[in-house]
Amino acid sequence: MSKIKKVVLAYSGGLDTSVILKWLQDVYDCEVITFTADIGQGEELAPARRKAKMFGVRQIFIEDLREEFVRDFVFPMFRANAVYEGEYLLGTSIARPLIAKRLVEIAKKTGADAISHGATGKGNDQVRFELGAYALMPNVRIIAPWREWDLLSREKMLAYARHHGIPVDYEKKRGGAPYSMDANLLHISYEGGVLENPDYEPEESMWRITVSPEKAPGRAEYVELTYSKGDIIAINGRKMAPARVLAKLNQLGGRHGIGRLDLVENRYIGMKSRGCYETPGGTIMLKGHRAMESITLDREVLALKDDLMPRYARLIYNGYWFSPERRLLQTLIDASQKSVNGMVRVKLYKGTVMTVGRASKSDSLFDPAIATFEDDKGAYNQADAAGFIRLNALRMRIAAKLKNRKS
């Protein structure tokens, strides 16, 4: 295999990727190009640039991908109402294909031989990054230091950092937070450390973007969501771009203690993992979207989407965003959304989201004249139900008669 001359590193500027940067330079004796994505993690990115420059990095890419993230990844996923294992809204999972896409694009642009990431050999992210990269650049070479080096403890990494003069902030020297965090515009995840005991209740101070439901306002807040083809385009009548929609819903949901989740999930590689998540805006989006579909989608179309959703969610969780099957499912899902237009009104109160109104002037399938319990003036013939029920009972009646003959 030819020598690697240039590698693009997914770089946050934190301890792990700073160590990886220096390790790549030493072990592979190659030029390192850093790529840092702003997908709404809420951190200043200038320190990442300074650290990269300190170690002689000449090509530094720091990009604001928030709009692309929500428009091209989060919104399509929510059109499917995707939920993994009944609860998880896939906040980390959906960010990885975008990062993989940009790693590959930068590698092609700069003529790099390889890409590198800081995901461990125990987690899902290594799979997500690499499946995405291979789907877009089949012959790409991938360096995953956690699968190669012997720096398998925090103490060893800190010792390596000290030896090579890599800046480590005070909190990291003291051992850091008792868990690891990953944030983007859709959510914050917490795992590892004290959370590895699934019977341990996290302290209240862990949560960053939601107040506790107990301390949320004592008065409910109503929010109106306007939909076009399955996507929210306005909040309370004010039109917004996708990233702004999600940021605003995070603010509203966080204020009311919405979107906290404590979950033991099944990783793709086979082990169970405990994670805690904050997804306030996404929780509101899911509730609102299902309410909008409830009056604009045909019954069997809605049922088909619900049948396909768990598979679609698993594809995203397991890293198959760029797979032909996910793309095919997305085509079907997006076609179903042409009629998902209108308004949904939700009530936010102490950790809950309740739909209290929905309307669509152009696409509602709800017919009050038929649904009414009052006089429908002949719109629906109730006598038709007798034959309908009797025909649907036919197979059960046949089976019951056979059972009676045998007894």
What are the residue boundaries of the structural domains of the chain, listed by start? Answer: 6-65+90-176, 183-297+340-359, 369-406
C-beta separation of 101 from 128 below 8 A? no
The count of residues in the chain is 407
Residue 9, beta-bridge partner list: 34, 116
DSSP-assigned letter for residue 201 = P
The rounded distance, in Å, linking the Cα atoms of 365 and 336 is: 14
Q: Which of 38, 180, 255, 290 is catalytic?
A: 180
**Range list of H helices, 29-163:** 46-54, 66-69, 75-79, 96-110, 125-136, 154-163
Residues 6+ apart with CB under 8 A from 292: 225, 227, 230, 340, 341, 342, 344, 358, 360
Catalytic residue (choose from 96, 102, 128, 326): 96
The reply to whether 16 belongs to the active site is yes
Specify whether 298 is catalytic.
Answer: no
For residue 173, what pLDDT is reported? 43
3-state SS, one letter per residue, for 307-332: HHHHHHHHHHHCCCCCCHHHHHHHHH
Annotation marks residue 180 as catalytic: yes
Alpha-carbon span 5 to 24, nearest angstrom: 11
- From CA 92, how far away is CA 96, in angstroms rounded? 7
* pLDDT (0 to 100) of residue 1: 57
Of 176, 206, 208, 173, nearest to 41 (Cα)? 208
CB 363 within 8 A of CB 340: yes
Task: Please give the order of strands across the beta sheet that includes 352-359.
Answer: 238-239, 231-235, 221-228, 342-349, 352-359
pLDDT (tens, 9 = 90+) of the chain, 407 residues, equals 579 999 999 999 988 999 999 999 999 999 999 999 999 998 889 889 999 999 999 999 999 999 999 999 999 999 999 999 999 999 999 999 999 999 999 999 999 999 999 999 999 999 999 999 999 999 999 999 999 999 988 789 899 999 999 887 634 444 456 788 999 999 999 999 999 999 999 999 999 999 999 999 999 999 999 999 999 999 999 999 999 999 999 999 999 999 999 999 999 999 999 999 999 999 999 999 999 999 999 999 999 999 999 999 999 999 999 999 999 999 999 999 999 999 999 999 999 999 999 999 999 999 999 999 999 999 999 999 999 999 999 999 999 999 999 98
CATH code for the domain defined by 183-297+340-359:
3.90.1260.10
Spatial separation of the C-alpha atoms in residues 51 and 35, rounded to whole Å: 13
Residue by residue, DSSP assigns 57-91 as ---EEEEE-HHHHIIIIIHHHHHTT--BTTTB--T
Q: What CATH topology corresponds to 6-65+90-176?
A: Rossmann fold (3.40.50)
Name the burial class of residue 341, with classes exposed (0-12), middle (13-18) and buried (19+) by CB atoms within 10 angstroms of its CB: buried
400 membership: H or E segment, kind and range: helix 394-406
The residue from 12, 16, 79, 273 that is catalytic is 16
Catalytic residue among 113, 116, 125, 260: 125
Q: By three-state DSSP, how is residue 32 classified?
A: strand
Two structure tokens written together for 104: 């590959």
